A and B are shown apart, each in its own frame.
Chain A
Amino acid sequence: MMIKYIISRIMQSIIVLIGVTLVTFILVNVVPGDAVSLMLAKRTDQATMDRIRHELGFDRPYTEQYLRFLGNAVRGDFGNSYFEKTPVTEMILRGLKYTVRIALWALLLALALGLGAGIVSAYFHNSLLDRVIMFFSTLGISAPVFWLALLFQIFFGLKLKVLPISGVDKPGSFILPVLTLGITNAASIARISRTSLLEIISQDYIRTAKAKGAGELRVVFKHVLKNAAIPIVTFAGLVVRGLLGGSMLVETVFSIPGFGSLMVSSILTRDIPLMQGCVVYGATIFVLINLLVDLAYSALDPRVRLVKET
């Protein structure tokens, strides 16, 4: 049963991805900003532009260009970047190396801080401690990522001089980007987990468990957390996607040559192969995360699986 569900979800994902390649191709050809004229800046004649257009296949019919792009994309081949002259896949993997590393640590930090604060807040709800935590989490949610990044740079890098301001090759380079992304997301997780925990705590079966004499920790971890997990997992999925999106800002501010900054510069320079590669790889990652979240639901709550199957 589970396998059937997984297969149907994978099929859906493939259809989504094909749709993404089509939309990407259309967008790339619709947005103003011709790659060739941009590449040649101010200094060329029509003949040179035509020569390069021909070389890149821009003078071929759109259907032919799309089918060629799709055929190559299936094999993971997006061609070479116009400017770097390196295979796009190689460039994306190089960028992801940084982005994934930062995103994973930021997720871990967000979950640890967020869940921890959420649990403490829910457990001592309406106390002074709860209010202080909720105050800081509101602050964390409201703070724009790039603003927080700048504050950290000024405080830890320029004033205290304890951490590198930017770059990736000095010891501790990743601490500030991870902190920036982690803290903003921790704040949201703290609020979500507090709310869902409070809802569960007031349920009858928790009272029953307590009445039966189960220890506090056992009640929290076995009964409360398990049942509050669904909204938290949903949100964690969102956080991962947010981390990949937020990485664009953080990577720019901290000068990290990651996937986000690669994508931004590909769009700004209309480096079409790189742009297409970034969108398709990005979409694949998002689709995979959605798939994982859905599978996690069905593992956590069998009702999800049953509903989908009927």
Chain B
Amino acid sequence: MKRLRMAIALLLIFALAAMTACGGAGKKEGTKKTGGTVTFGTAMDQFGNMDIHYTTAAAPFQAAMQMTEPLIGKDPDGNLFPLLLDEMPEVSEDGLTYSFKLKSGVKFHDGSLLDSGDVKATFEKMLNPKNLSVHAGSITTLIKGAAEYADGKADSISGIEVKDDQNFTITLVSPNASFLNFLSAWQMSIYPAEAATMDGWGTKVFIGTGPYKLKEFEPNSKIVMERFDDYHGGAKKLDSIVFQNMTQNTALMEFEAGNIDLTEVKDTAIISSYLENEEFKDNIVMIEQLGTIALSFNMKMKPFDNPKVREAISIAIDRETIVNKLLKGLGTPAKSFLPKGVLGYDEDLEEFKYDPERAKQLLKEAGYPDGIDVEAITTDTAATTFILQYLAEAFKEANIRMTIQTYDAAGFTDIRNNGKIPMFILTWVSDVGDPNDFMSLYSTPMSQFISNFYENSEYDAQLQKGLTETDLEKRAELYRQLDYKLTRTDYACAPIYHPNAFMLVSKKIKNLRMENCFRLFDAELSE
């Protein structure tokens, strides 16, 4: 027995030695400074590079918002303001040329001054196909000479003219009322001209004009940003902002343990369980989003080629039940594709009426007396699959038998882009907030990228009008009509609800408004 005890003791000592040896290798935490640090726990598995020219993933954008800035900013209420500019740009009579004057004395994190050349170089970097920027497509059709530059037929973008260090003009292909909104999107942030050729740009070096500058970056794992004291808008209060990679479950545990200060919560069930939890209910913060969740149909496929079938599906959706029961009230039932807060939203429009009996009748009229069999496609990570699962049951009321197929995100995107998805739940959240950003999704040929194939020349013509109309009232009316046409006449999609985002936020963080921008840079800590 003595030998046994000895053996066990030896094993324990060995195991403990192994533990301490591998644990001790970690770095020691720094001491807390006066302004403090805010740590954000988020999924960073698609955060290999800080340059948001390469991505549409959320976390890199949220980090870039602390470090870089576009020419034009947008406040929490959606109003545009000159951010890197002296004043809002002047537009020529024909609505084609915008004259910009940069704010003087704006410094990049490396101490160099922002000038017009940096603006032009940033656009060119984005358009150069060698850089594989995902946002290039939106510029080629917008700015004069951009497509030629992207095709290698020109040495520079003819539509961007540098007058001097502070003044430059941008000329468009055709008048576009959403251009300034477009410039306020974060992917339009201005980098120093050298960014295009800098070694390790986006992984080892990342320079902008924003209130925080890069201190440390470990791809897909962690980013540490520290205060930029020469920030042109005046130095901010926090010492540093840290993004730490973690899955949702891990982030919730880290938050409850007090190790991180904020994290986004995506699962409705988890949000409502926190709202019912005495300890954490005040930590849940809702952020209004400009977005819509809708059922989108493939109008080239049977039975969705028939407008009556699409109408039947739309009125077979019980939007009230989805929002009140499934989402526990954490969204708003949709009555249009445009959400509240976007120009053209019709406050007075009546709600969609849930009517499974009329849906059955419509299917009969469409030549489907026994109802229809349809297939919806979703991804394994989609946060909206539970809506489809509910609909699959609820649709039976209206003689709509729906099956659900699940793919991984890559497979799904592939099928969608090839136009082979019969029906899916579209999540459209706008980073620009302009009605064109919503309605142009259903224009030709854009609609084919969401496997929808809505083709309506009148719709396209009116969309074009919306881009050139500068009178706000008239512009709003144009989009109101477009929305009505899309969702109530042609039923190209069936809007379900407008989502909101939810964050768990530590009570010591003050001044956090995150509409239109992830304003961690404005946060302050209170003890």
Contact = CB atoms under 8 A, between A and B. Distances in A.
B15 interface: yes
Interface in B1-54: 3-4, 7-8, 11, 14-15, 18-19, 21-29, 45-46, 48-49, 51, 54
B134 A40 contact: yes
B7 A120 contact: yes
A24 interface: no
Contact of B132 (A82, A157, A167): A82
Interface string B352-366: 000000000000000
B247 A253 contact: yes
B410 A51 contact: no
Interface in A127-156: 129, 150, 153-154
A292 interface: no
B45 to A, nearest CB: 4
A120 B14 CA distance: 16
Contact of B203 (A86, A161, A267): A86
A3 interface: no
A174 B408 contact: no
- Say what secondary structure dominates the interface of chain A: helix
B202 interface: yes
A76 B54 CA distance: 25
Interface string A267-281: 111100000000000
A61 interface: no
A252 interface: yes
Interface string A169-186: 111111100110000000
Interface string B124-152: 00000110101111101100000100110
B244 interface: yes
Contact of A84 (B49, B147, B222, B449): B49
A279 to B, nearest CB: 16
Nearest to A265: B45
B27 A165 contact: no
Interface stretch (B110-118, B213-221, B485-493, B511-519): B213-221
A33 interface: yes
B222 A51 contact: no
A55 B132 contact: yes
Interface in A108-126: 108-109, 112-113, 116, 119-120, 124
Contact of A45 (B26, B48, B130, B140): B140
Nearest to B19: A175
Contacts of B134: 39-41, 43-44
A32 B129 CA distance: 24
Contacts, number: 204
Contact of B250 (A83, A129, A153): A153
B130 A157 contact: no
Contact of B11 (A44, A112, A178): A112
Interface stretch (A12-20, A194-202, A254-262, A298-306): A254-262
Interface stretch (B254-262, B277-285, B331-339): B254-262
B269 interface: no
Interface string B192-203: 000000000111
B247 A165 contact: no
B390 interface: no
A120 B140 CA distance: 73
A91 interface: yes
Interface of A: 31-34, 37-48, 51-52, 54-56, 81-86, 91, 94, 101-102, 105, 108-109, 112-113, 116, 119-120, 124, 129, 150, 153-154, 157-158, 161, 164-175, 178-179, 216, 252-255, 257, 261-262, 264-265, 267-270
Given A85-B48, A173-B23, A255-B245, 10 more contacts: A43-B137, A45-B140, A51-B136, A153-B250, A165-B253, A167-B246, A178-B22, A253-B247, A255-B250, A269-B46
9 contacts: A32-B407, A39-B134, A48-B140, A48-B150, A85-B49, A86-B48, A119-B7, A153-B253, A165-B254
Interface of B: 3-4, 7-8, 11, 14-15, 18-19, 21-29, 45-46, 48-49, 51, 54-56, 129-130, 132, 134-138, 140-141, 147, 150-151, 201-203, 218-222, 244-247, 249-250, 253-254, 256-257, 259, 407-411, 413-415, 417, 445, 449-450
